[in-house]
Each structure stands twice: as structure tokens, then as C-alpha cells.
Amino acid sequence: MDYKKAVQSRRTFAIISHPDAGKTTLTEKLLLFGGAIREAGSVKGKKNSKHAMSDWMEIEKQRGISVTSSVLEFLYDGYHVNILDTPGHEDFSEDTYRTLTAADSATMLIDAAKGVEAQTKKLFKVCKMRGIPIFTFMNKLDRQGRDPFELMEELENLLGIRSYPMGWPIGMGQSFSGVYDRHNKKLELYNPENPKEIDVIQLTGPDDPKLDEAIGEEGLVAQFREELELLDVAGDEFDPELIAKGKLTPIFFGSAISSFGVQTFLEHFLKLSPAPTPRESSKGLIEPLENQSFSGFIFKIQANMNPAHRDRIAFLRITSGKFERGMSVKHVRVGKNLKLAQPTQFLAQSRSIVDEAYAGDIIGLFDPGTFRIGDTLVEGDNFEFAEMPHFSPEFFSAITVKEALKHKSYEKGLQQLTEEGAIQLFKTYNRFAEQQIVGVVGVLQFEVLEYRLKHEYHVDIQLERLPFSFARWADGPAEAMDAFKKSQRNLVTDRDGRIVVLFENEFQMRTAIDKYPEMKFYENSFIKSNS
């Protein structure tokens, strides 16, 4: 295939939302339309039911939530689509933040009854910081929800983004009758008896008498026309340039659970969303279309995707060039060449060996312990991509293994889960008896840690919550650092031996900053921003 055509056909995007907005359901319906699966799973898994394709971990099936990002891939109408399905729960937001670095655009899923929720706001901010296009899918229109104008106003007030509805709903909840496609002048009729049967009627416009015939209810049609007129007069204009800059979000209306509006969304999205975009590196922007030398970065590491084989997979976003199975690349951080012999592509946990892939694609590399999140792989040239976002933990526990005989497995499990980015591991500094401390962004990560160590490494652990709320990486001139280390309590070291100080509250942290003016305190080991 011609290189430029191959790259231009790629679409790599993340789906972001608050928990229970219907994200995993939407993902599965997209896979259905792409022919990647034959039947969608049940997200709230009961004992004998199917589970969502993207929720492949045993704990995800039991809890009915996503706790790790999944990579899903399918072909549709000449496009090669890579979906990054992210955890909606805020306790796993760090995994989501890192995954967003591998996406070129994002789909923001909103429950029409609840509007913009807390986690959506957080994730939206990350997308906005990156300036990527954001597409909005207002979900659950078949249930009673909020007024569409109110939802649009909330997007602007809470998220600071203007919106352009690509379609407009006729009714909602029990009166929901369909959605009018403003661009293609089509009416999609909703049939509550059989939602999968969608009748599409071509119209000359919203005043076409065929619309009255199809809907039947005079009041509903009159309200729809009034709203549409208001939208045409007072709403934002359609502007592909503003969409590309992430300043205008196209809005789609539908119901993921009944597949209504999903295909329309997919078709519009593929035309409006960007092909693989440039990435910042130590030698400037790497342009996928101009730079045909292979390069990529590791944005996620997942241990035990196949528990039977105890394997570890590093997820690589290809940023430029063509990948070929068996090729030799340079691992920049360690300065060594690697042969990439068994690359895989994914449908969540399912995988297949891939012979070639292009910029925009996500591939999995077998990892014997070589990779870290943020590593750069290149062919020929020598440069590194910008660091991964990395966040300070907010919850801490002392961790010990219950059975001394299982210590080796315990250490291996902790090391692998740390390298995945699922937890941060610290060791006490200047103590007679060294203690290990686990730091996480959300408390549910402790439960996942305990579960995975038990089921994947056969190790039982004891967790004892500690009163700390802040971790700050400390640095300064040698003399100031020595004085600080001698006088400061609650010092630990991270996995690279760097000094980290744990604080119980903000007052303690501010006191330390004032007391040691020569010292610098960073929110984490990568992002150099003063706390």
C-alpha cells in the first residue's frame, strides 16, 4: 500500500466519559459496525452472561467496571480505526491520561440525563491541553434526559468549548422519535419496539411534509422545527478548522445500548477526525506524513494479559514510518538495538501477529522487562519523544507479604505492576528496618493491586493505610539536600533512588517549602512544576 494513503486512512482515538455513561457499550457497538465482533457483551456481568469485549480482566468482569485501558481495532469503509477504550472511574485516571497521549482525537460520551460529570471535566482538560479534536456523543436519548440546549450551554460553561449539533433529536425518553441529520438532511426514525430497526428517510429539509408523516405527533414536530430554527439563527456555525483545533465540538445524539445514532456518528467522525498527528520530540515535531523513518513510544505496559503464559506486553504508538515484523530498531533510553520479532495487534485481550503497521497504529511488543512507559524506539535517527504525564499519588499504604516463602513472587509482582504504572512503589529512607510503601492516585487501585497479586502471582499481601496525602520529589544543592535529609521526617526513595518526601497535609508541605528555600519540590519525577 502507498505509504501516505495508508497513514491518511488511520484514525486513532480515545473514548472518555464518567463511569456509567455507556462508554464500553458505545465501544462495542462501534466494533459491531466494523464487523470486529458479532455480538456485544453485557457490561454489568452476571455470572453466566457475556462481558464487554474491552473489559477482559477478571476483576473487570466481576465488578462491571473498566480498570485498565484496552486497545481495539477494526476496518470500516476504507478506514483503519484504532479505539483506545479507557477506564471511566477516577481512581484509574492516570492510566487514562497516559493513554490519551497515544490518541489523535477523543470522543466524549455524556449521559443526557446527567450532563457533564466530574470525571468528564478532568479528562476533557487533558484533551484540551493537548489541543486535540473532541467529538461529543449525547447518550441515552431513549430515557428522559435534560433539554439539549441546556446540555450545550453546560458544555460551554463548564468545559469552555463551543458546540455544533450535527443532528437534532425529536423528543426524548418516552416521546423520543428520532434524530434529524442536519448535514445530510436525513431523518433516522427510532422504533421503541425494535430499536435495531432504524428507518432512514431522505428529506429536502426540516419542513419536508414527509417528516410530519413519519413522526405523526403535531406538537412534537412543531417543537422540533422551532428548536432547529433557533439553532440555525443563534447557534455556532459549522467550522472544520475550529473542530480540528479542539475549539468546537460536533454533537451527536443517540442511544448506544440500542445502537441508535452510532453508525451516523461513526461515519461523520471518520470524515472529520484527523489522520495521525505530529508529536513533539527532542529534535522538534515528528510529522507522520513527511518522516517515513520508523519511530514510536511506549504509552502503556500490561502484565499477564494471558495469565497462562505470564507474559508482559508493551503498547507502542507508531508516530512515523512503517513497521515491519522482524525489523531492528534503537531503544533510545538504553542505547541498544532491538529486533521486534513478535509484534501483535489487538481486540482487547485477543491478539494476532502483525506483519506490518503504519503511523497511527498501536502494536503490542513482548516485553521481557526491557521497556518503561515513555520509552522511544527509532529507526536510524536518535531522538526521544516528550515525557509521559505522571501524577503524584494521593493515597499511601505500607505493604508486606503474608508468607515469607512467597517473597520472590511478591517482589516480581510489585516490580511488574510498578512498571505498568498501576502503582508507584517507595522505600523508606534512613530507617533501620526498610519498609515498602505503595502510592496510588485512587483508593480502588489498592483493591486491584491486592486482587492481581493474589490471582496472577499467588501472593497474599497486608496493606496498612498511611496518613499521607502528598508526595513531592525533592531536589536542591548538595549542602541543602544533605541538611534536608538529616532533618526531614517521612522521606522515601522511588524506584530510581530519588528522594521523595511524604506530607500529611498542605500545611505541612507549605511549612517545608518555607523552611528550606534552597530546595525545590516537584509534583513528580518528570514534570518540573513547583508545588
Which residues does the annotation place in the binding site for GTP? 17-24, 85-89, 139-142
- Dihedral over Cα of 351, 353, 357, 363: its sign: positive
First to last CA, the chain: 50
Binding residues: 17-24, 85-89, 139-142
The size of the chain, in residues, is 531
Q: Where are the beta strands (DSSP E) in 142-221?
A: 162-165, 167-170, 178-181, 186-189, 199-202
Cα 141 to Cα 255: distance, rounded to the nearest angstrom = 6
Residues contacting residue 501 through CB under 8 Å, at least 6 positions apart = 471, 472, 474, 488, 490, 491, 492, 512, 521
Orientation of helix 407-420 relative to helix 444-457, angle to 10°: 130
Cα 44 to Cα 6: distance, rounded to the nearest angstrom = 37
Half-sphere exposure of 286 (CA within 13 A, CB side): 27
Residues contacting residue 409 through CB under 8 Å, at least 6 positions apart = 457, 458, 459
* 250 bridge partner residues: 164
The cell for 287 is 510529522
Q: How does strand 356-358 pair with strand 328-331?
A: unpaired
Under 8 Å between Cβ of 196 and 215: no
Cα 457 to Cα 403: distance, rounded to the nearest angstrom = 13
The gap from C-alpha 32 to its chain's centroid, in whole angstroms, comes to: 20
Q: How many beta carbons lie within 10 A of that of residue 275, not counting itself?
A: 18
Nearest-5° Cα angle at 55, 51 to 61: 55
Choose among 431, 522, 440, 519: nearest CA to 473: 522
Q: What is the 3-state secondary structure (H, E, C) of 435-472?
A: CEEEEECCCHHHHHHHHHHHHHHCCCEEEEEECCCEEE
Please give the DSSP secondary-structure letter assigned to residue 158.
I
Cα 64 to Cα 45: distance, rounded to the nearest angstrom = 6
Choose among 127, 86, 136, 154: nearest CA to 261: 136
